[in-house]
A and B are shown apart, each in its own frame.
Chain A
Amino acid sequence: GEDVEQSLFLSVREGDSSVINCTYTDSSSTYLYWYKQEPGAGLQLLTYIFSNMDMKQDQRLTVLLNKKDKHLSLRIADTQTGDSAIYFCAESQSNYQLIWGAGTKLIIKP
């Protein structure tokens, strides 16, 4: 069945780039999403990419999509302490259903 996989943790130094990776299985997915969850809060949409795109950039965020390998990545440039959170990858399975990854906890070292 459909599955979205992410590493559970990523540790980076403040000021470095963070790259969070995600693999998905449904080749018919049309949209892929990145959400951010800060402690005690809900999931906040960061960005999304349509499946016919390879890359999308939005300020410090860059999303790369490799459809052949079903691999999605989120790069955060100049990582700050405020970027500490759990990052969820999700693929659209149907008109409404999203398949969620388990989330990657981003840890920022000073």
Chain B
Amino acid sequence: DAGVIQSPRHEVTEMGQEVTLRCKPISGHNSLFWYRQTMMRGLELLIYFNNNVPIDDSGMPEDRFSAKMPNASFSTLKIQPSEPRDSAVYFCASRKDGRNQPQHFGDGTRLSIL
């Protein structure tokens, strides 16, 4: 079984540029999460989708961040315009609905904004 697939693995870009991170969840999983991990703040939940619908976006830092899930097998997280403080590792995770169902993580995208 393929796990959660994220691309790109690494992204280095200049501030002001648009950044798009991509995620393919595990087939059959109907919940998808975007997280940001930094040394200072640890792991933060940015947004949660269920059945392709955004349910909780309270963790999205500001309007520069947006996320979409056009279908069950694809999601994007976009930052426009990017700033140096957005530098972090961004993880996507997916899970099946159910009380004891764990979240499965991708390998992350390491984003550096210069």
Distance of B85 from chain A, by nearest CB (Å): 20
The interface centre, meaning the residue of B93, B99, B102 with most chain A CB atoms within 10 A of its CB, is B102
Chain A CB within 8 A of B78 CB: no
User: Contacts of B17 on A, CB cut-off 8 Å?
Assistant: none
Chain-B contact segment, one of A15-23, A63-71, A72-80, A98-106? A98-106
Q: Is the interface of A mostly helix, strand, loop or mixed?
A: strand
Interface residues on B, range: 20 to 34
How many A residues touch B, CB cutoff 8 Å? 21
| Residue of A whose beta carbon sits closest to that of B3 | A42
Q: Please tell me which one of the listed residues A30, A40, A88, A96 contacts residue B107 in the complex, with CB atoms under 8 A apart.
A: A40
User: Contacts of A40 on B, CB cut-off 8 Å?
Assistant: 107
The interface centre, meaning the residue of A30, A40, A43, A92 with most chain B CB atoms within 10 A of its CB, is A43
With A41-B107, A44-B105 as contacts: A31 and B99 at CB distance below 8 Å: yes
